[in-house]
């Protein structure tokens, strides 16, 4: 069953005009394409990671500063050439170096392996086909129509095909080994073993058929019965969470612990000189998170600021005597401290508006709030009516339905609310309980009609309350356009796009549920006096 | 692609033919409890064929579940002869024999004879050592299946010193340490201070007998601790959400419901997956744990 389309079959089908033009252009560029496509066909050497760039053991150990015990354990487990192994299960937190260490260890050992990540191979079919493609040295390219070498959906088929391909590859390896031993030309000795690596294994638990796939993959080693195959699993979660009711064979676990503060310092030192000055920054961030990826993103702006200070010709930092070093450190720290404190409270995200924020820092304003607003505003490409709909959804989910009349009455029912009676003890208790409930329950549901009613009320009332806001340099054009909003079908379409973007979620029997995110930024960007409409008990 | 009925007809036909040719067929069904899922059509037609057709065949089912035959439907169970063979894990004497048998090098192998002799001599010394025997007993008292033994031996052999090529007691001891893992403790040791705060807040909420709590209640508790004790570690909400997500990933906490209602993570009820004792141990072992948290944990411990 070929998915490849020959030009002849295409002409017998009904062709649209665009398709016909594509066919025409194909004929023209066919010959030059053919010469380019006789490119690199994968061979067994492709199964070895970076064959032309060998990695010595010392180099391997120095690339991963705090991981020498783990690397040694992996090397012990894999053993010398041609030693069979039981399946290995490596687990550890995020960014602890599992994938990179395994790949570099195999680069050092120069042994062939087949790598597949359960994140890019998001279903059993894709996983099975990816592994079979790699073992058959087949690359999915344009010429063969991106078709895999074998269609494989069921585990039963996969077991058979895998066995065939593995036996094939092992035979090729044995042949090459025998030939090379006779010739004794190359320094590389071909072993008999091939390894299968499954990365991001914890995602398999969330697949549809995980209850059959998990025991199947764990039992792959026993099922194949080939001593020349080694299997390695990499996962973020410990093997305990893979236990299910069925008995499956447990692989040998290996834990990659998180980094301690000293280790983190070593890791960051690898790229920078002037080590000790890093320590003032590392300590406060270390209290929040220990993941290398989050820390490196957080450190970059701080380090830039730090370098800026050091390179400033006005300040003179001398590092000769110990006392002067301490002084210098104190000065640096006092300068950086407010910046560190504010950036600790940032979520560790990359902000492209760094340059703008830096300008504000120099002026001396506490610009963290402004940076935050910039970050969130970036995501906000919504039409004005969509923003109003979002506000209406928020109000509808927060306020009880009975208050709508008094809150939204355009003829001025707003001031009746301001009176506050003295509350008795019981009432305060009830208030607390109600607050608690609000914390727990989350946003409420509302029917579509209520949302539209509130929307119309808000948009008609808008011109009254807007005058309170004084400075609106970029807000001015927005404000003038508000006027009267008719409930056109465009506005109704916005509701469905808000649902799709997950700002409003659809419940059963079509009530909608408001979401809490972005409420303040929307209100701020539209200069909407949200607090007036919000019901506070 | 043949249908189920076609295949059943084929099997019955083949069984009859083999019976006429006086050939016995043994059908082995591994992981028998999986065949017992769903409608058990395969089992029914197979066992039915055993009885009705003139065939010399036997069906053997293998399962790790002791109650595999209880899973069968009535009509299938009636066609089963209730013969069960129980394979127990090896006893203590068998274990000793097994260890020696698996580890010693056979005399007829291709390695030099002097090496084999020395290897086996050292091995026998280790196996007779009392400390070694005690450690093995403790390890295998929790799980004495052959699988566990194989993994333990593999770990010991893989840490063998390749220069001398002789096994030593240290190899076995390192293997025992590797086998005795405490995953939740490992995770707690690796938590950052903010994450520890979140865990302790959750524990305090549980102690107050609050049945269900979510991220917002935890934040309230966190603020309360900060107000009463003036801790230096008070971070913004979005940083705390990141730490919360990290704890979810490590499986130290989890949601109580299963993806209900598309609610955002701040409102879904959560629970701790780690016992108070483990949390206490984890706090003690964590090198950077602030003393305030230890104090709070002790308070909780005294109250319970």
Q: Which residues of B touch A504 (CB under 8 A)?
A: none
Q: Chain B closest CA to A476's CA: distance in Å?
A: 31
**How far apart are alpha carbons A407 and A390 in whole angstroms?**
17
Other C-beta atoms within 10 Å of A489: how many? 7
In terms of DSSP H, where are the helices of chain B?
4-20, 32-35, 41-52, 74-78, 92-103, 113-128, 130-142, 146-158, 169-179, 183-189, 193-207, 215-229, 237-250, 276-285, 291-303
Pick B88 or A528 by higher pLDDT: B88
Tokens of residue B253, six digits: 């906490």
Interhelix angle B193-207/B237-250, rounded to 10 degrees, is 80
pLDDT per position as a tens digit, B73-87: 888 888 888 888 998
The reported pLDDT for the residue numbered A197 is 94
The reported pLDDT for the residue numbered A30 is 42
Eight-state DSSP code of residue B107: T
Question: Do A252 and B155 count as a contact with CB atoms less than 8 A apart?
Answer: yes
CB-neighbour burial class of residue A290 (10 A; exposed 0-12, middle 13-18, buried 19+): buried
Question: Do A345 and B235 count as a contact with CB atoms less than 8 A apart?
Answer: yes
Task: Output phi, psi for A197, to 5 deg.
Answer: -115, 125
- pLDDT above 90 covers a percentage of chain B that reads 3
Q: Which residues of B touch A80 (CB under 8 A)?
A: 162
Q: Answer for the pair B57, B26: CB distance below 8 angstroms, yes or no.
A: yes
Write the residue in B178, B239, B249 that is nearest to A288 by C-beta.
B239
Chain B residue closest in CA terms to A215: B31
Question: Do A346 and B239 count as a contact with CB atoms less than 8 A apart?
Answer: yes
**Alpha carbon separation from A276 to A267, A298, A387, B288 (Å, rounded):** 13, 18, 49, 20
Question: Do A289 and B194 count as a contact with CB atoms less than 8 A apart?
Answer: yes
3-state secondary structure of B64: coil
Torsion from C-alpha of A448, A449, A452, A453, nearest 10 degrees: -150
Write the residue in B31, B151, B159 that is nearest to A86 by C-beta.
B151
Q: Can you give the pTM of this predicted structure?
A: 0.77
Question: Do B251 and A238 count as a contact with CB atoms less than 8 A apart?
Answer: yes
The reported pLDDT for the residue numbered B56 is 84
Average the pLDDT over B159-180 and give the result.
86
Q: Answer for the pair B61, B29: CB distance below 8 angstroms, yes or no.
A: yes
Chain B residue closest in CA terms to A241: B251
Question: Do A347 and B241 count as a contact with CB atoms less than 8 A apart?
Answer: yes
The reported pLDDT for the residue numbered B22 is 86
Interface test with B, best of A98, A290, A432 (most B CBs within 10 A): A290
Eight-state DSSP code of residue B213: B
Q: Which residues of A touch B186 (CB under 8 A)?
A: 238, 255, 257
| pLDDT classification of B225: cutoffs 50, 70, 90 | confident
In the block, residue with structure tokens 């549920």: A513
Interface test with B, best of A222, A439, A499, A503 (most B CBs within 10 A): A439
**How far apart are alpha carbons B266 and B213 in whole angstroms?**
10
By C-alpha distance, which of B171, B90, B165, B73 is closest to B129?
B171
Q: Chain A closest CA to B22's CA: distance in Å?
A: 31
Interface test with A, best of B160, B196, B264, B287 (most A CBs within 10 A): B264
Question: Do A246 and B31 count as a contact with CB atoms less than 8 A apart?
Answer: yes
Q: Answer for the pair A73, A254: CB distance below 8 angstroms, yes or no.
A: yes
Chain B residue closest in CA terms to A515: B264
Write the residue in A240, A258, A507 that is nearest to B183 by C-beta.
A240
Question: Do B261 and A513 count as a contact with CB atoms less than 8 A apart?
Answer: yes
**Alpha carbon separation from A145 to A6, A15, A26, A141 (Å, rounded):** 11, 19, 14, 6
Write the residue in B191, B238, B267 that is nearest to A442 by C-beta.
B267
Chain B residue closest in CA terms to A344: B235
Question: Do A238 and B220 count as a contact with CB atoms less than 8 A apart?
Answer: no
Average the pLDDT over B193-218 and give the result.
85
pLDDT in tens, chain A (537 residues): 434 444 444 445 565 666 566 555 444 444 444 444 445 666 777 777 766 677 888 888 888 888 889 999 999 999 888 889 999 999 988 888 899 999 999 988 888 899 999 999 999 999 999 999 888 888 888 777 788 888 888 888 899 999 999 999 999 888 888 887 777 655 677 788 899 999 999 999 888 888 888 888 998 998 898 999 999 999 998 888 887 766 677 889 999 988 887 887 777 777 665 555 556 666 667 777 777 777 777 777 676 776 676 666 655 555 556 666 677 667 767 777 767 666 666 655 544 444 444 444 443 333 334 444 444 444 456 677 777 777 777 777 666 666 666 666 655 444 444 444 555 667 677 777 766 666 666 666 677 777 777 777 777 765 544 433 433 333 333 443 444 556 677 777 777 777 777 666 665 555 555 554 444 445 445 555 555 555 543
Eight-state DSSP code of residue B85: -
Question: Do B151 and A250 count as a contact with CB atoms less than 8 A apart?
Answer: yes
**How far apart are alpha carbons B115 and A186 in whole angstroms?**
32
Interface size, chain A vs chain B, as Cβ–Cβ contacts under 8 Å? 124
The reported pLDDT for the residue numbered A95 is 81
ipTM of the complex: 0.88
**How far apart are alpha carbons A219 and B268 in whole angstroms?**
36
Q: Which residues of B touch A238 (CB under 8 A)?
A: 181, 183, 186-187, 251
Q: Chain B closest CA to A12's CA: distance in Å?
A: 30
Interface test with A, best of B1, B175, B187 (most A CBs within 10 A): B187
The reported pLDDT for the residue numbered A160 is 92
Interface test with A, best of B154, B190, B218, B269 (most A CBs within 10 A): B190
Question: Do B34 and A246 count as a contact with CB atoms less than 8 A apart?
Answer: yes
pLDDT per position as a tens digit, A150-183: 888 888 889 999 999 999 999 988 888 888 777 7
The chain-wide mean pLDDT, for chain B, equals: 84
Question: Do B264 and A515 count as a contact with CB atoms less than 8 A apart?
Answer: yes
Chain A residue closest in CA terms to B62: A247
Interface test with A, best of B267, B271, B286, B291 (most A CBs within 10 A): B267
Question: Do B239 and A344 count as a contact with CB atoms less than 8 A apart?
Answer: yes
Write the residue in A93, A346, A505 that is nearest to B190 by C-beta.
A93
What lies within 8 Å, CB to CB, of B105 at 6+ separation is B111, B116, B119, B120
Q: Which residues of B touch A440 (CB under 8 A)?
A: 212-214, 216-217, 267, 269
Write the residue in B186, B212, B243 that is nearest to A257 by C-beta.
B186
pLDDT per position as a tens digit, A53-77: 778 888 888 888 888 899 999 999 9
Q: Which residues of B touch A512 (CB under 8 A)?
A: none
Pairing of strands A445-446, A512-514: antiparallel
Q: Chain A closest CA to B260's CA: distance in Å?
A: 10
Write the residue in A253, A347, A513 that is nearest to B181 by C-beta.
A253
């Amino acid at each position: 069953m070929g998915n490849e389309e020959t030009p002849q079959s295409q002409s017998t089908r009904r062709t649209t005009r665009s398709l016909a033009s594509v066919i025409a252009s194909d004929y023209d560029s066919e010959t030059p394409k053919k010469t380019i496509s006789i490119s690199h066909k994968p061979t067994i050497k492709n199964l070895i990671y970076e064959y032309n760039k060998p990695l010595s053991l010392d180099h391997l150990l120095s690339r991963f500063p705090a991981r020498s015990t783990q690397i040694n354990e992996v090397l012990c487990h894999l053993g010398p050439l041609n030693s069979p192994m039981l399946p290995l299960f490596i687990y550890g937190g995020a960014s602890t170096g599992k994938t990179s260490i395994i790949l570099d260890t195999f680069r050092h050992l120069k042994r062939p392996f087949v790598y597949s990540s359960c994140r890019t191979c998001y279903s059993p079919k894709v996983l099975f086909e990816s592994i079979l493609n790699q073992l058959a040295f087949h690359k999915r390219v344009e010429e063969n129509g991106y078709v895999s070498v074998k269609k494989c959906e069921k585990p039963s088929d996969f077991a058979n095909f895998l066995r065939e391909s593995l036996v094939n590859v092992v035979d090729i390896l044995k042949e090459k080994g025998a030939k090379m031993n006779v010739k004794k030309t190359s320094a590389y000795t071909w072993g008999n073993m091939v390894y299968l690596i499954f990365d991001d294994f914890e995602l398999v638990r969330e697949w549809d058929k995980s209850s059959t796939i998990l025991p199947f993959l764990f039992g792959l080693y026993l099922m194949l019965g080939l001593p020349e195959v080694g299997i390695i699993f990499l996962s973020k979660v410990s093997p305990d969470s893979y236990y299910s009711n069925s008995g499956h064979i447990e692989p040998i676990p290996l834990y990659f612990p998180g980094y301690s503060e000293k280790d983190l310092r070593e890791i960051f030192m690898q790229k920078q000189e002037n080590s000790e000055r890093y320590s003032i920054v590392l300590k406060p961030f270390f209290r929040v998170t220990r993941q290398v990826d989050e820390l490196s993103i957080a450190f970059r702006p701080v380090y830039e600021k730090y370098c800026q200070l050091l390179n400033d010709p006005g300040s003179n930092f001398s590092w000769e005597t110990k006392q002067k070093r301490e002084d210098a450190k104190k000065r640096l720290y006092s300068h950086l401290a407010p910046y560190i404190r504010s950036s600790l409270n940032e979520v560790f995200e990359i902000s492209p508006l760094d340059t703008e924020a830096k300008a504000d820092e120099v002026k001396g304003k506490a610009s963290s709030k402004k940076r935050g607003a910039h970050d969130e505003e970036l995501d906000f490409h919504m039409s004005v009516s969509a923003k109003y709909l979002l506000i209406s959804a928020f109000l509808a989910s927060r306020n009880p339905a009975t208050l709508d009349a008094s809150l939204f009455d355009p003829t001025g029912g707003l001031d009746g609310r301001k009176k506050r009676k003295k509350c008795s003890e019981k009432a305060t208790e009830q208030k607390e309980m109600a607050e608690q409930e609000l914390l727990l329950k989350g946003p409420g549901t509302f029917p579509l009609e209520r949302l539209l009613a509130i929307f119309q009320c808000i948009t008609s009332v808008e011109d009254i309350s807007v005058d309170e806001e004084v400075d609106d340099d970029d807000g001015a054009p927005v404000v003038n356009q508000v006027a009267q909003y008719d409930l056109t079908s465009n506005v109704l379409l916005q509701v469905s796009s808000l649902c799709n973007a997950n700002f409003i979620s659809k419940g059963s029997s079509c009530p909608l549920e408001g979401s809490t995110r972005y409420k303040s930024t929307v209100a701020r960007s539209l200069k909407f006096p949200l607090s007036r409409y919000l019901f506070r008990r | 692609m043949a249908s189920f009925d076609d295949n059943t007809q084929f099997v019955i036909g083949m069984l009859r033919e083999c019976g006429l040719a006086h050939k016995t067929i043994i059908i082995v069904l591994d992981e028998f409890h999986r065949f017992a899922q769903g409608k058990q059509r395969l089992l029914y037609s197979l066992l039915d064929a055993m009885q009705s057709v003139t065939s010399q065949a036997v069906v053997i089912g293998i399962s790790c579940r002791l109650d595999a035959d209880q899973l069968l439907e009535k009509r299938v169970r009636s066609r089963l002869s209730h013969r069960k063979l129980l394979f127990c894990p090896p006893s203590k004497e068998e274990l000793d024999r097994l260890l020696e048998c698996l580890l010693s090098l056979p005399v007829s192998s291709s390695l030099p004879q002097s090496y084999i002799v020395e290897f086996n001599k050292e091995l026998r010394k280790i196996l007779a050592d009392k400390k070694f025997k005690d450690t093995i007993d403790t390890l295998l008292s929790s799980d004495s299946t052959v699988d566990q033994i194989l993994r333990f031996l593999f770990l010991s052999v893989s840490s063998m010193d390749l220069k001398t090529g002789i096994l030593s007691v240290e190899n076995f001891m390192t293997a025992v340490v590797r086998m005795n893992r405490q995953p939740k403790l490992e995770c707690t040791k690796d938590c950052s201070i903010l994450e520890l705060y979140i865990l302790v807040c959750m524990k305090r909420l549980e102690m107050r007998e609050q049945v269900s709590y979510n991220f917002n209640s935890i934040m309230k508790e966190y603020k309360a601790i900060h107000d009463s004790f003036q801790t230096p570690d008070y971070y913004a909400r979005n940083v705390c959400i990141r730490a919360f997500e990290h704890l979810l990933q490590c499986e130290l906490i989890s949601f109580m419901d299963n993806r209900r209602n598309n609610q955002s993570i701040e409102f879904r009820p959560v629970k701790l997956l780690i016992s108070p004792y483990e949390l206490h141990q984890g706090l003690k072992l964590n090198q950077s744990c602030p003393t305030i948290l230890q104090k709070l944990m002790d308070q909780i411990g005294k109250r319970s």
